[in-house]
Every structure is written in C-alpha cells, then in structure tokens.
C-alpha cells in the first residue's frame, strides 16, 4: 500500500532520536546502528477518501480494500465533501449485514451511528466532518471476505465496498 508516510515517520523518529539541543551545530551521525522491525512499533495505514456533495454523489474512493489478516492496521478516512450535511464514517462489518448494522446504528448517534454491541461490526471510525481526517487502528480479522459501509443515516445503501483480508 502507501509506504511513503511510514517512511517519513521512520525518518522523523530517527531525526529525533539522538540529536542534542545544539541543532544545526550537531554534525555527528544520528546513529550507526541499523533499525530493525522489532525496535519500531508501527502499523500500515490505509488511506480512504469519502467524496460527493450530496446523497447521489456520495461514495468512498475505494470499492475494494485488501489488507493482511490478523494484523494491526490504521485507517485514515478523509471527508472531502464541502457540504456540511455530509458527515461520514467507515465501518468494517460482516458480509451482507449492511442494512442491519445501519439500522442498528440509528439510535447511537453519540457513537458515530454504530451500536457498540453489534456483533456484526468488526471496527469503525469516528464520524469525519467535512474537510476532516479521522484515524483509527484495529486488528484485522482472519482471512476472508467482509464489507465496509458508512453508517451515517441513509448512507449505507450507497457508501459501501468489499473488505478482503488474506
Ligand atoms: Cu456517509
């Protein structure tokens, strides 16, 4: 997937690691030791954009999301709409359960329109207001086919896609 932000994070971490307060005057090498995966805790990030200015245009920029199974990942959801009536979230759910999850979330506005006890929900983001990016991390489920929706009222019938883990 998109490795650039991860690389930047690593570079940033290296840059902060061994520098003294002297800043520009510090010409010493940052570190001679190689960085190994075991020394850095990190998750891969999947970037998703919610688009559209109204109910007929609204959509995710991805129809399919593929990630490794049983692995911690981070989702970054950006809401690019400029219409304030278009908040969105992203909810990863069991296949075929979009309507049940959406209906069940209607009475849970304070939980981003997701029933916290819904067994069909794998993980979900907060609501992203227009122009906002929200992040959340979760451990992906075992290898299989799932789906993702926006559970904002009236959106799940259109804003949905397939979620594969392998
Ligand atoms: Cu939505």
Q: What pLDDT does residue 20 have?
A: 40
Q: Separation of 54 CA from ligand 1 center, angstroms?
A: 10
What value does the mean pLDDT take over residues 64-89? 95
Q: What pLDDT does residue 44 have?
A: 87
What value does the mean pLDDT take over residues 127-148? 97
What value does the mean pLDDT take over residues 72-95? 96
Q: Separation of 151 CA from ligand 1 center, angstroms?
A: 6
The torsion angles phi and psi of 75, rounded to 5 degrees, stand at -105, 130
Q: What pLDDT does residue 23 have?
A: 43
Residue 42 has pLDDT above 80, yes or no: no
Residue 39 has pLDDT above 50, yes or no: no
Nearest to 50 by CA among 103, 129, 111: 129
Q: Separation of 162 CA from ligand 1 center, angstroms?
A: 16
Q: Separation of 118 CA from ligand 1 center, angstroms?
A: 19
Domain limits, CATH 2.60.40.420, in the chain = 44-165
Q: Separation of 18 CA from ligand 1 center, angstroms?
A: 44
Single pTM value for the model: 0.75
Residue 67 banded pLDDT, cuts 50, 70, 90: very high
Residue 84 has pLDDT above 80, yes or no: yes
Residue 41 banded pLDDT, cuts 50, 70, 90: very low
Q: What pLDDT does residue 31 have?
A: 46
Residue 140 banded pLDDT, cuts 50, 70, 90: very high
Q: Separation of 43 CA from ligand 1 center, angstroms?
A: 25
Q: Separation of 90 CA from ligand 1 center, angstroms?
A: 8
Cβ neighbors of 144 (< 8 A, separation 6 or more) are: 69, 164, 165
**Whole-number average pLDDT of the chain:** 83
Residue 122 has pLDDT above 70, yes or no: yes
Q: Separation of 58 CA from ligand 1 center, angstroms?
A: 7
CATH 2.60.40.420 fits 44-165, yes or no: yes
Q: Separation of 120 CA from ligand 1 center, angstroms?
A: 18
């Amino acid at each position: 997937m998109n490795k650039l932000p991860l690389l930047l994070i690593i570079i940033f971490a290296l840059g902060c690691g061994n520098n003294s307060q002297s800043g520009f005057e510090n010409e010493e090498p940052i570190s001679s030791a190689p960085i190994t995966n075991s020394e850095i805790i990190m998750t891969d990030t999947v970037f998703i954009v919610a688009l559209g200015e109204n109910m007929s245009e609204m959509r995710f920029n991805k129809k399919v999301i593929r990630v490794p199974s049983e692995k911690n990942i981070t989702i970054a959801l950006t809401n690019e709409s400029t219409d304030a009536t278009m908040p969105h979230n992203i909810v990863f759910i069991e296949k075929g359960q979009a309507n049940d999850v959406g209906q069940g979330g209607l009475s849970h506005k304070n939980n981003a329109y997701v029933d916290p006890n819904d067994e069909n929900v794998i993980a979900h983001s907060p609501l992203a207001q227009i122009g906002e990016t929200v992040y959340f991390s979760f451990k992906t489920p075992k290898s299989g086919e799932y789906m993702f929706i926006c559970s904002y009222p009236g959106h799940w019938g259109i804003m949905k896609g397939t979620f594969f883990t392998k």
